[in-house]
Amino acid sequence: MTESAVAALADRLGDFRPRVLLTLGSGLGGLADGVDRPVVVPYADVGLPESTVPGHAGRLVAGTFAGVPVLVQQGRVHLYEQVAPAQVVSCVRVAAALGAQTHVVTNAAGGLAPDLAPGDLMVLTDHLNLTGTTPLVGPAFIDMGAAYDPELRAAAHDAAAGVREQLFEGVYAGLRGPAFETPAEVRMLRTLGADAVGMSTVLEVIAAIQAGLRVAGFSLITNVHGPGVATDHAEVLAAGRTAGPRLAEVIAALLPRL
């Protein structure tokens, strides 16, 4: 599946080769508006899996963002859509095959750490893969000891400071979903050392590391977990739309530093 998608996309892109894959999470699709001279390729055109989730467009946008050749993945598929792990990571593998060297991955996440509030931006220091699965097959014993590149993280802090955005740091727990977490699960995740929780990213990052990409990850905190606080998808999308432009600014400032 990946080889035919690579060939089909290479055909559409001509000489253009991305240096960076930028994956956009729920409600963050607006980041693609910053791409200059965009070539838009719907996933279906190149045989990539389409998301069924409201807020996920399902297309690739190739072009330059802050002067850097990027492939923007606008919308992703999730495990809870009953797709195989290989499908969840197909865009990562396609981008790597086209020569991308860096993966900037974003997500919408629920805040667990007490200092996080809706609208906050967090750069990922590490993750907990609690999905119960992996995109790797066979004895692929890859090193995950520094999956979220410390240099890129430092560059992200410089970029955020440059545009006067506060950037938290933390550990992202990736769960299968789609139900939001129970209070007991929230307590468990805190005990395990998670600062934020979501339903994406971890498999993509495993595939990115396997493919030799450097990874920078960002969570946009769309909601927080606490006693008596309900969680709903509309709130997640709305927070993404409101705070998305701020994350876009940080990423625009980061790209030239990669």
86 is catalytic: no
148 is catalytic: no
225 is catalytic: no
Residue (49 or 110) nearer to ligand HPA, CB: 110
CA dihedral 246, 24, 151, 102 (to 10 degrees): -140
56 is catalytic: yes
User: Residue 109 Cβ, how far from ligand HPA at the closest point, in Å?
Assistant: 5
Residue (125 or 231) nearer to ligand HPA, CB: 231
User: Residue 211 Cβ, how far from ligand HPA at the closest point, in Å?
Assistant: 25
End-to-end Cα spacing for the chain: 30
What the block records as the tokens of 230 is 């309900």
Residue 25: Cβ within 10 Å count: 29
157 is catalytic: no
Q: Which residues contact 70 (CB under 8 A, 6 or more apart)?
A: 18, 19, 20, 21, 22, 35, 62, 63, 64, 255
Which of 32, 56, 109, 181 is catalytic? The answer is: 56
User: Residue 134 Cβ, how far from ligand HPA at the closest point, in Å?
Assistant: 19
- Binding stretches for ligand HPA (CB under 6 A): 108-110, 180-181, 197-199, 222-223, 231, 236
Which of 109, 155, 160, 199 is catalytic? The answer is: 199
The CB-nearest residue to ligand HPA is: 110
Residue (16 or 80) nearer to ligand HPA, CB: 80
Angle among Cα 253, 123, 80 to the nearest 5 degrees reads 115
Residue 108: Cβ within 10 Å count: 27
Contact 197, 221 (CB under 8 A): no
Residue (108 or 255) nearer to ligand HPA, CB: 108
Contact 153, 145 (CB under 8 A): no
Which of 90, 107, 219, 223 is catalytic? The answer is: 223
26 is catalytic: yes
User: Residue 175 Cβ, how far from ligand HPA at the closest point, in Å?
Assistant: 6
Which of 66, 78, 95, 122 is catalytic? The answer is: 78
Which of 233, 235, 238, 252 is catalytic? The answer is: 233
Contact 147, 215 (CB under 8 A): yes
Residues labelled as active-site residues:
26, 56, 78, 80-81, 108, 199-200, 223, 233
